[in-house]
Amino acid sequence: MKQTNLIKESNKMSIIRIAPVCGGKIYVTKHSLAGEKSPHMDLPIVESATHVSAKSDRTACKVKEKFHRHLHTDAAPRLCVKHRSSMNKEATIFLYILPLKSEDEIHFHEGEFVTSEDISNHPEAYAPDLLKESELLGMAAELWEDFYHTEI
């Protein structure tokens, strides 16, 4: 299912978006959750769900586990913000970050780490929801970078 279809079909549903972050950068890819090419770079982990609000952390962990072959980390997704989708105002997005200690902990085909500045400098290359989230994700990525560098 293409991501745009995922968003259209998520009327009154929730969307879990998980942003892997490392070294002050955000991991993006052109491949959607179903492995299909997307015209824009976006987060690699996106899935629709129903009745998420009370169990969003548990749901995000289950979504992360579906991608275990691409991830080599025990880190748990951490809720960053809840907002309305840019493409479907009735869909609620639960945006998570997945803090990584090393860029080697993630492997999606055609994926790369970018800064929030890269996203804002080339908005035509990125999905609308990622454009909306990029500044917040950039701050979160930098905070986790600082945390891992000061960890004892």
Per-residue pLDDT tens over the stretch 45-82: 888 877 666 566 677 777 777 776 677 777 888 888 88
Give yes or no for residue 88 having a pLDDT over 80.
no
120 pLDDT tier (thresholds 50, 70, 90): very high
CA distance 119 to 34: 23
* Pairing state between β 45-49 and 37-42: unpaired
Which token pair is 52?
A: 């998420």
Compute the radius of gyration of the chain from its Cα atoms.
Answer: 14
Q: In this structure, which amino acid lies at residue 45?
A: I
State the pLDDT at residue 36: 60
- Mean pLDDT in the chain? 79
Q: In this structure, which amino acid lies at residue 20?
A: P
Alpha helices (H) in 1-152, listed in sequence order:
3-8, 56-66, 116-121, 128-150
Which H or E run includes 18? strand 14-22
15 pLDDT tier (thresholds 50, 70, 90): confident
